[in-house]
Structure 1
């Protein structure tokens, strides 16, 4: 049986479409390829973008800024010494970009102008640290990316 060039093109297209369809179905059905959003309510979050930028600018305008560091014990957050520790209120949100199951939040509770998050709560890799805090009635937002070994 001899196949002409028109039949060969149709067979090639059918094989190519089958190949693409196989990968689409594999990615959609396999939990290993999780394609979730970073923020659940994206549009609601986007509406408050200007407020977020104002809080980031407030933090940027500070002469002495909080410092986020990582060491063998975990994450250390040190506020400037001239801040009154009991007046600082807020949360530290840690986001794991690769898997939202590891995301968690910790309320800011300072002792001697610093706080720490133990390494036992963290797994190795990249973490986004978003610290939303308030001091003397002014709102601040500090964002950093850290790497835990």
Structure 2
């Protein structure tokens, strides 16, 4: 067999295709490379986008907003004194962008103006916090991103 430029290009192209196909199959079969959606029912979620923007604007318009901060004990959410803690209802959703398995929700049920999410519940890294809450018939949505060491 004679080895020339044409033969070399065909062999190189074949090796490149084999290399790419190997990685495609590896990513599709290995659970370490899960391809998860941000939201399960994306289009149903998108329909309510306008309502979400109204709730975000309601939270933004508050003179005193809840404060979400990281402490040595975990994540602390402090509501201003103008709110009566027992009248605040809702939920706090913690979303981990890297893996859906770590996502969880905590209901807001307060006796004092502080809600603590223990550090043992949170793996290190980035967390997106969505706090949906109601007070005196008005709905609010607060979104924050925090980093846990």
- TM-score category of the 2 structures, normalised to the smaller one: over 0.9
1:141 is aligned to 141
The unaligned stretches of length 5 or more in structure 2 are none
Asked if 1:54 corresponds to 2:79, the answer is no
Map of 2:16 onto structure 1: 16
**For structure 1, which segment, 106-115 or 126-135, has the greater mean C-alpha deviation from structure 2 after superposition?**
106-115
Name stretches of at least 5 consecutive residues in structure 1 with no aligned partner: none
1:4 Cα shift?
A: 2.6
Partner of 2:128 in structure 1?
A: 128
With normalisation by structure 1, the TM-score equals 0.95
Shift of 1:83: 0.5
Backbone CA RMSD of aligned residues: 1.0
Moved more, 4-13 or 121-130: 4-13
Equivalent residue of 2:123, what SS?
A: coil
**Is the aligned partner of 1:64 residue 2:64?**
yes
- Displacement of 1:75 after TM fit? 1.0
State the alpha-carbon separation in 2 of the partners of residues 49 and 19 from structure 1: 42
Q: Distance in 2 between matches of 1:123 and 1:5?
A: 54
| 1:49-84 C-alpha deviation (Å, 9 max, x unpaired) | 111111101100000000011111111111110111
Residue 78 of structure 2 is matched in structure 1 by 78
Other structure's SS at 1:37 match: coil
Secondary structure of 1:35 counterpart: coil
* TM-superposition CA deviations, 1:101-128 (whole Å, max 9, x none): 1111000012221111111111111111
